Structure 1
Amino acid sequence: MDTNAIYKEVVVIGNGPSGIIVSLMLSGKLPYFITSEHPDEMLNARLKSLTSPCLISQNLEFLAQGLEGRCNNPISLLMDALLHPYADLGIDLEPLIEFRQTGKEIDHVVLGRGPPGGSWHRIDPDVLTLSLGSWMALPGLPFPSCTTNEKRAYSRDVATYYENYVRHMGLDKYFINDTLATSVISCSDRTVSEELLLKKKNWIKRFDRNVVDRVKDYFEPVNEDGNNNCFISNALNCLLSSSSKRTRLSKRPKTAHDNIAKKLNQNKSEPIFVPKHERKRSISCCCCCGDTENYKNPKTFPHSQSLDASSTKPVPFYNKINCDSNDKTPNWIIQTTNAESGETTKYSCKYLVLACGTYDSPNRLEIFKSGPDPDWLVHDLRSLESKLDNKAIEDGSIIDPVLIVGAGLSAADAIMAVRSRNVPVIHVFRRKSAEFTRQLPENMYPEYHKVRQMMNDGGSTYPLYKAYSEHSLTGFDAKSQTIKLTSSSGEDVKVKVSFAAVLIGSRPSLSFLPNNMNLGIFPDRDIDSKTNPVDVNPITHEVMGHEGLFAVGPLAGDNFVRYIPGGAVAAVAELYKKWNLIDAQQ
């Protein structure tokens, strides 16, 4: 263990909306149902079976069955259905859940390269969001009403909202801003739980070999994953009941053995436990597994239209090893650098949450990868506008056109920004026509539909705009600022430009992670939120093959803010189970 590292139970990398909502839940604010009535009949029927008002104590996979939406993560769809019921149908209904300060405050830290809000502080402030302003809100603080008639929000208002949200919710103490994560090291491929199990196995070896065999044969079929039974307690129980004349399975009543066999055949992946009333005697080793005799299940969740908010009770805790234990053996070491002072700091933690978004590293054309970018080339709208405004101040006017490459919404924003400055635009895209407005209603997004018309028209009837569809950039001269374009039929054309903006999407910057982690669904490709998100367990958002590592937000495919709370709920619910802070079967 690095003694110079600051120990935290959880480290969150990324301080955008994904990191903010994870921090909110780790601070102790957990989602509670305030009603069990939902307009979706199937979801409403499942909600009737709830035994507790606390969402994270429920079977999330069961509740999320059959839900559909513009997201592939089931828990994200579930949270969206609870926070924004029937939002896609234009219905504005009150949420079914609220966040209450009833959980455990977990020692954690949130690292971000700028102020809270993440990439929203780097987006052009005058760009309108795709989502409605109300959908940009996080639980507990409504998004302020727009000052204009626009239902969508300006990105500057979104950035301000997230910064204010952290202060309003009292999360400031967890946030370390203006900090870059430079490296992440996995302390060991072997987890803490595996180390404890190994110690128990070494201890039990002092018993007779035959006893050990009886213990293994007796208990291992009961719980296939081996994580929920105390090995020491099981051994002592076996010794209490063992007899040289008995067979290996003679202690277990025949009825219990038959019941277990049936359950194993029904669902081999589900842990099976011997009911307590079917055991003769039982011993509990308090030092490692705790005493669960006094644990009482919560009262049945009332099936009524409204729940009394004043009757909130703390989430029930097990008397087991939890995050307050003295064991602070880290699984991860994170090295950071302060963006202003350059000072380095190390953090160690048991659990690491990746919430870095997807806008840190713009996609680049192959012809610009061989060397440094010329000073007239940019990869984001804000930089382009800054260069245009500075150029206009210096030279008075801009004669040469601006080249814009891309066929998405970012390219459309750039086209509108350049033409509004009376600067000609040369627009290059590989497709024959525009398709980015297929899911955008024209009455809500008139500006994007106008750009689509320009692209399909080619620019013949629109001033200051010329489109080169089915063309690609195949060469450039940095000194003369000349670009070579090649059509799909092989014809070449050269144009002189004042600036060029390549806006073909972006990817998360995960350079701080080891190169061999291969986190994507397609391990041999770079992480991309749309085509290759991080491969996570859809119910827990734990990264497949990397215990103790979680991914939320766009990294896991949740590309809209309204879906982001679902990933946080999935991850924190799993962490609560790992810490034994809440009954997973409740």
Structure 2
Amino acid sequence: MFHPNTDADPGQLSRFSWRSEPWKGYSHAVLGKGEIGGAWAEMKNSDERTVSYAENMDLPKFTYADWWSATHITTPSDRPFRSDVAHYYQDYVHAVGIADAFHPHTEVTHVITMEEALAAGWCACGDVKDGKQCEMCAKFGYVVCGYVTQGGKAARVPFSMRAKAVVLATGIFERPKWLGGVVGEDADFVSHELKDIVSYNPACDDVTNSRQDSLVPSTANWTYPTPPASPRLSLSAASDPYLIVGSGLSAADAIIHLRAQGVPVLHIFHHPTSRNPHYSTSPLAACSRSVYPEYAALYRRMKRYATGMSRAKEDDSGYEGLVNARVVELKRAKDGRKMVTMQDEEGRVFSQAVGGVGILIGRKIDMGFLKGQAQEQILASREETNEEENNDVRMAELVHNSTISPSSRRLSLDFTISSPLRKVDPYSFRAVRPVKQRKEPRLYAIGALTGDTFVRFVLGGGLGVLWDLERWLGKSRKSRTRVVAE
């Protein structure tokens, strides 16, 4: 209802209207160790476009189109730059008046139940006796601890707070994956982050020239792109090729950016072949030529190498695919050149000088901040997940089963999540343990943790949690932000 039939017939008006009723709200705090916007905040200087269309980036009450018309005089494109979306989300919290609830640069290191905290001698009131709750602490379910970064890592100020309930909205992209077992993978010329490879778009520096200042609300604290702190890659067409490892969208973004700068690229990717039929096809295979021409063009190049078509290398000057190859070693030669030793699909070992290496093979979840009972509430046991005894990092991986409907001009990605979570109620999004030993405080999981990997699905999780809080606290069953179906 928020965006009716958006895949097949975009542009239809929302069936929702929104009215803020802050006097009915709950006291809450949103903690994040980065800037407002989460993973999007890291794309403030990206010159890549989003996979989704602009209307699917909308949040309630103040849409992306509203933001664009207030800050630009040009017509927005169907697929916006990721840097624009990042700034939209940062400005959004000010435009709708919720900025006070956000606490960026706040790293959570511990989430523990109040019961365990009191047993360990912790009490916010200083009135704990023999592990019994004081009158004030008895109202809360959890203790949340961590650090607030002020002016750099050297100034980390510890904090602790009590919470009646905790909502996990951390996403699944916490830490980049490594190949593992590769000598030199920690070398200074190796990156596991797309943001280290994709430099900012210089055109964004002058974005204020296209603003309509008279349309910007005076009460909003608007933000605009600034140049990144790190220098741009000092690579050119004359450089040694840049090696990219990966078959997904991040690897594709890096390759597209490097080729646009004229930098030659070596690309290691997986593709099903007669020798390795078990490998999955890249999700780029689902990209329509008309909707996602840049991804479709790259996939055609990859497929030519995978199928052994003649003259592939000559046809793709500046790009060379290494199908199902693997990295053996990364090191600097005596003359300072960056060297990569690889093994191809047939077992031949060879070395190549490179300008740099980008290993973009996905990301994994890190929920090590959940301790004790809080961890047991929502994370599956080692036996349930077949984890090693000493592995305390739970991982969730996206398996792409990508399809595109012939009747749709949009890309439809069917994400199946292999989750480390125990059962999460599909209506309240509350963690549900198979067998409860005692009445437990409320712990929720929303967003990518439950398979809702796109912004367009974010409303469902938030409304589900709010519905459960309404039932629990015995207040009105009406939403704190009233949603009226037209």
Report the TM-score, using the length of structure 2 for normalisation.
Answer: 0.69
- Cα 1:336–1:371 shift into 2, 3 Å: farther
Name 1:454's counterpart in structure 2.
Answer: 301
Q: 1:407-456: CA deviations, max 9, x gaps?
A: 11111111111112222110001224853234332211000001001111
Q: 1:443-475: CA deviations, max 9, x gaps?
A: 110000010011112252111110001212233
**1:567 Cα offset (Å):** 0.8
May I ask how many residue pairs the two structures share in their alignment?
Answer: 366
**For 1:94-133, what aligned pairs fall within 5 Å after superposition?**
94-102=13-21, 104-123=24-43, 125-133=46-54
CA distance in 1, matches of 2:426, 2:234: 49
- Cα 1:86–1:529 shift into 2, 3 Å: farther
Name 1:425's counterpart in structure 2.
Answer: 265
**1:515 Cα offset (Å):** 7.3
Indicate conservation of the 8 Å contact 2:285/2:296, yes or no. Answer: no
* Structure 1 portions without partners, runs of 5+: 1-81, 191-324
CA distance in 1, matches of 2:231, 2:342: 23
- Give 1:488's match in structure 2, choosing from 329, 345, 352: 345
What amino acid sits opposite 2:93 in the alignment?
A: V
* Structure 2 portions without partners, runs of 5+: 118-134, 200-229, 274-280, 306-311, 388-393, 399-416, 434-439, 479-486
- Considering only CA atoms, is the larger Rg found in Structure 1 or Structure 2? 1
Name 1:469's counterpart in structure 2.
Answer: 323
CA distance in 1, matches of 2:248, 2:84: 23
Q: CA RMSD in A?
A: 2.8
What amino acid sits opposite 2:106 in the alignment?
A: T
Indicate conservation of the 8 Å contact 2:142/2:441, yes or no. Answer: no
Q: 1:172-196: CA deviations, max 9, x gaps?
A: 2211111111221122389xxxxxx
State the secondary structure of the residue aligned to 2:247. Answer: coil
Q: 1:481-527: CA deviations, max 9, x gaps?
A: 32222233322222221210001111233232227826456644633
Indicate conservation of the 8 Å contact 2:270/2:282, yes or no. Answer: no
CA distance in 2, matches of 1:326, 1:105: 21
**1:537 Cα offset (Å):** 1.3
Is 1:359 matched with 2:173?
Answer: yes
Indicate conservation of the 8 Å contact 1:85/1:93, yes or no. Answer: yes
CA distance in 2, matches of 1:439, 1:580: 47
Indicate conservation of the 8 Å contact 1:520/1:532, yes or no. Answer: no
If asked which structure has higher relative contact order (CA below 8 Å, sep 6+), I would say 1
Is 1:541 matched with 2:429?
Answer: yes
Indicate conservation of the 8 Å contact 1:184/1:335, yes or no. Answer: yes
- Cα 1:428–1:421 shift into 2, 3 Å: same
CA distance in 2, matches of 1:582, 1:474: 61
Q: 1:177-219: CA deviations, max 9, x gaps?
A: 11111221122389xxxxxxxxxxxxxxxxxxxxxxxxxxxxx
**1:371 Cα offset (Å):** 7.5
State the secondary structure of the residue aligned to 1:367. Answer: coil
**For 1:550-561, what aligned pairs fall within 5 Å after superposition?**
550-561=444-455
Is 1:154 matched with 2:154?
Answer: no
- Give 1:184's match in structure 2, choosing from 111, 117, 123: 111
Name 1:568's counterpart in structure 2.
Answer: 462
CA distance in 2, matches of 1:371, 1:349: 44
- Cα 1:158–1:583 shift into 2, 3 Å: closer
Is 1:502 matched with 2:359?
Answer: yes
CA distance in 1, matches of 2:428, 2:297: 42
Name 2:475's counterpart in structure 1.
Answer: 581
Is 1:143 matched with 2:64?
Answer: yes
- Give 2:93's match in structure 1, choosing from 166, 169, 174: 166
State the secondary structure of the residue aligned to 2:17. Answer: strand
CA distance in 1, matches of 2:351, 2:107: 41
CA distance in 2, matches of 1:328, 1:159: 40
**1:337 Cα offset (Å):** 0.8
Indicate conservation of the 8 Å contact 1:529/1:557, yes or no. Answer: no
Is 1:384 matched with 2:238?
Answer: no
Indicate conservation of the 8 Å contact 1:529/1:554, yes or no. Answer: no
Indicate conservation of the 8 Å contact 1:520/1:527, yes or no. Answer: no
State the secondary structure of the residue aligned to 1:108. Answer: coil
- Give 1:528's match in structure 2, choosing from 393, 396, 401: 396
CA distance in 2, matches of 1:160, 1:176: 17
CA distance in 1, matches of 2:234, 2:452: 38
CA distance in 1, matches of 2:98, 2:179: 40
- Give 2:148's match in structure 1, choosing from 315, 322, 338: 338
State the secondary structure of the residue aligned to 1:441. Answer: coil
- Cα 1:107–1:450 shift into 2, 3 Å: same
- Cα 1:397–1:447 shift into 2, 3 Å: closer
State the secondary structure of the residue aligned to 2:51. Answer: strand
**1:358 Cα offset (Å):** 2.5
Indicate conservation of the 8 Å contact 1:187/1:331, yes or no. Answer: yes
Q: 1:266-321: CA deviations, max 9, x gaps?
A: xxxxxxxxxxxxxxxxxxxxxxxxxxxxxxxxxxxxxxxxxxxxxxxxxxxxxxxx
CA distance in 2, matches of 1:398, 1:436: 31
CA distance in 1, matches of 2:270, 2:284: 17
Name 1:14's counterpart in structure 2.
Answer: none
- Cα 1:563–1:185 shift into 2, 3 Å: same
What amino acid sits opposite 1:498 in the alignment?
A: G
Q: 1:349-405: CA deviations, max 9, x gaps?
A: 11001111222311111125x87711100012221245883434xxx8752111000
- Give 1:350's match in structure 2, choosing from 159, 164, 168: 164
Name 1:329's counterpart in structure 2.
Answer: 139
Name 2:240's counterpart in structure 1.
Answer: 400
Of 383-392 and 480-489, deviating more is 383-392
State the secondary structure of the residue aligned to 1:158. Answer: helix
CA distance in 1, matches of 2:249, 2:444: 30
Report the TM-score, using the length of structure 1 for normalisation.
Answer: 0.58
What amino acid sits opposite 1:576 in the alignment?
A: E
CA distance in 1, matches of 2:33, 2:57: 21
CA distance in 2, matches of 1:377, 1:189: 42
Name 1:373's counterpart in structure 2.
Answer: 186
State the secondary structure of the residue aligned to 1:89. Answer: coil
**1:476 Cα offset (Å):** 2.7
- Cα 1:329–1:372 shift into 2, 3 Å: farther
What amino acid sits opposite 2:353 in the alignment?
A: K
Percent identical: 26
**1:326 Cα offset (Å):** 6.9
**For 1:220-239, what aligned pairs fall within 5 Å after superposition?**
none
State the secondary structure of the residue aligned to 2:284. Answer: coil
CA distance in 2, matches of 1:473, 1:327: 54
